[in-house]
Amino acid sequence: MLHCSYLVKKYVMVYAYIRVSTAEQSGSSQEFEIRNWAQKQGITIDKWETESVSGTIAPKKRKLGKLIRRMKADDLLVCTEISRLGRNMLMIMSILNDCSSREIRIHTIKDNFDLNNNINSKIIAFAFALAAEIERNLISQRTKEALADRKAAGVKLGRPTGSYKQKAIVMQELSKIRQRMAAGEALPAIAKDYGIHRNTLSNYLKSAG
């Protein structure tokens, strides 16, 4: 648990950080967890920072980076879990290393992790980040294997080049399209009228002979 001895200093500020991956997601559950934890600890959140951004984006390009840059020694950063800081091991370790060197404290509620500028905290942070990285790599590998199996089974992957309905319309108006092309009209403009890409239209014309 956090040691409240450094929280009672006058210069200490407590920051709460909330991150969701997309604008459609809500950070309300994270806010509830943080408020509930702060109430139990008798801690007041001085500043809230919320953003909708992927954790793969570098911290310096996120609000998180700006927040950490303005924090001072013995300030506390609270978030629900360590993955809110970043989505890969090196990024998280970089953030923790930066905060540790500047004596900024971090607490993650679900992980019950505290960065208090000691070696144990750094080891635990590394373990959390490494486990998360391994899990993401396994998921990625399983996805690649599943796609390879589908491809081997003859399943065509990727977005289809136009629907059957669009192709049928093009074939019905083939003579009209060729007349427009003969008159010097650009293929992209014609394709746009039919709601398809110019390459798709070109493939339709080639298949028609």
Using the 8-state DSSP alphabet, how is residue 156 labeled? P
What are the phi and psi torsion angles at 50 (to 5°)? -125, 140
Portion of the chain with pLDDT greater than 90, in percent? 30
* Residue 4 in this model has a pLDDT that exceeds 50: no
Give tens-digit pLDDT for 46-104.
999 999 998 889 899 999 999 999 999 999 999 999 999 998 877 888 888 888 888 89
| Lowest mean pLDDT segment, chosen from 41-50, 106-115, 140-149, 195-204 | 140-149
Mean pLDDT, to the nearest integer, of 162-182? 80
CB 113 within 8 A of CB 125: yes
Distance of CA 34 to the CA centre of its chain: 21
Give tens-digit pLDDT for 79-93.
999 999 998 877 888
What confidence score (pLDDT) does residue 104 get? Answer: 92
Please provide the average confidence, as pLDDT, over all residues in the chain: 82
Beta-strand runs (E) in 61-207: 76-79, 105-108, 113-115
